[in-house]
A = this chain, B = another copy of it.
């Protein structure tokens, strides 16, 4: 019954897997989505209709320009690029023409700067759809999310007569770094939404397992920190230099040691550091990319406060200047119990899956939290579910999903949910 959808879903997922794109540069992915929607006759919104530029964080103008060039070379039409206004992301809008609730289903699209495993045991390598952009990889399954979203849109569109109200499928950019959720939530696209549902593959769940989440996104803040010191010859004039590299290294050690917190989980990650000009030159520049997380907003604030003090401290100690830029931010999960009940009801209608207890482990951040928060803020119902796969850990070179078996589960839960909410009377 769903065979052709599932077949195409797997094709889409593998095509996207081959062309991973970092957040805010998903022009090929956005085009892939929209060209299909167009082919099927599904209307969609683009650019500032789905992204509010005032809330955009962590988007590098230069990287966007390079991405546009690259996308054009790879066949994305110039006039489509123009319509994006430089902002990736899209929303399919299926109007049934009948009064009824507005339901939004949300998926995300971006990849990670991870070099994909070329081990013959690694499925994408084995089956020939590994990333052909070295150093980039869909190592968190968003390729699968987008593939699911696209087929959900097609199926609903092709069965529109069975539904009432409006169904939106949101294709959110830049989830990694939690940068795209806030500007999408502030674009107006969910202002009229009554029900919103997002999802993620993997996590602690195994293939065939599903659950809703009733707590657990960590609040998180992402920083770029740029240190500027003073160059000098490290051999003949070490005393004249102020090393941005050593300042950043010291800050790293101090950041790792921010105290744990009674009130909730804490995380701190100095994920990237590029520092120095040459071996025998005292380093004048360092760029650190880091983030903190907290099990509650207050715990995240505690982490942010520590980051600020530590950076101020190394400025003093090492006579460097540090510029701190907030490049991403997300919040904890607002929980809407009635929606969770509905989703579990939807799940029970899907055969062959195992519904696990509601999950509340605080072990990741997810900027769907902003969309959920927005919908809840005007009285709507919003939430999130997980569906399993067999994998060795997210964000790793050997992350993999079993697309043929795992993705249909999400596809069916989404449909089942829409049937519950938007069923024509």
Residues of A at the B interface (CB closer than 8 Å) are 112-115, 135, 140, 176-177, 203, 218, 220, 222, 231-241, 243, 245-246, 248-250, 252-254, 256-257, 259-263, 265-284, 286, 289-291, 293, 299, 302, 309-310, 312-317, 319, 328, 361, 363-365, 393-397
Q: Which residue of the partner chain, among B237, B252, B315, B393, contacts A240 with CB atoms under 8 Å?
A: B393
Q: Which residue of the partner chain, among B222, B274, B309, B397, contacts A231 with CB atoms under 8 Å?
A: B397
Query: Would you call A234 and B393 a contact (CB within 8 A)?
Result: no
The 3 closest A-B pairs by CB, nearest first: A256-B257, A234-B269, A313-B317
Query: Would you call A282 and B262 a contact (CB within 8 A)?
Result: no
Instruction: Determine the distance from Cα of A307 to Cα of B245 in the docked complex, in whole angstroms.
Output: 18
Instruction: Determine the distance from Cα of A268 to Cα of B235 in the docked complex, in whole angstroms.
Output: 8
Q: Which residue of the partner chain, among B250, B272, B317, contacts A277 with CB atoms under 8 Å?
A: B272
State the Cβ distance, A201 to closest chain B Cβ, in Å: 13
Q: Which residue of the partner chain, among B203, B245, B299, B394, contacts A271 with CB atoms under 8 Å?
A: B245
A115 surroundings in chain B (CB, below 8 A): 277
Query: Would you call A272 and B245 a contact (CB within 8 A)?
Result: yes
A250 surroundings in chain B (CB, below 8 A): 249-250, 253-254
State the Cβ distance, A245 to closest chain B Cβ, in Å: 6
Instruction: Determine the distance from Cα of A5 to Cα of B77 in the docked complex, in whole angstroms.
Output: 59
Query: Would you call A114 and B270 a contact (CB within 8 A)?
Result: no
Instruction: Determine the distance from Cα of A260 to Cα of B393 in the docked complex, in whole angstroms.
Output: 16
Query: Would you call B319 and A234 a contact (CB within 8 A)?
Result: no
Q: Which residue of the partner chain, among B177, B233, B310, B397, contacts A394 with CB atoms under 8 Å?
A: B233
A395 surroundings in chain B (CB, below 8 A): 231-234, 278, 280-282
A273 surroundings in chain B (CB, below 8 A): 245, 248-249, 273-276, 283, 286
State the Cβ distance, A207 to closest chain B Cβ, in Å: 18
Query: Would you call B316 and A309 a contact (CB within 8 A)?
Result: yes
Query: Would you call A114 and B277 a contact (CB within 8 A)?
Result: yes
Instruction: Determine the distance from Cα of A281 to Cα of B291 in the docked complex, in whole angstroms.
Output: 10
Residues A252 and B249 in contact in the complex (CB < 8 Å), given A176-B278, A232-B396: yes
Query: Would you call B245 and A253 a contact (CB within 8 A)?
Result: no
Instruction: Determine the distance from Cα of A364 to Cα of B234 in the docked complex, in whole angstroms.
Output: 8
Instruction: Determine the distance from Cα of A231 to Cα of B397 in the docked complex, in whole angstroms.
Output: 8
Query: Would you call B363 and A262 a contact (CB within 8 A)?
Result: yes
Residues A278 and B234 in contact in the complex (CB < 8 Å), given A250-B253, A259-B239, A260-B260: no
Query: Would you call A396 and B245 a contact (CB within 8 A)?
Result: no
A319 surroundings in chain B (CB, below 8 A): 309
Query: Would you call B260 and A253 a contact (CB within 8 A)?
Result: no
A315 surroundings in chain B (CB, below 8 A): 313
A279 surroundings in chain B (CB, below 8 A): 177, 222, 269, 271-272, 289-291, 328
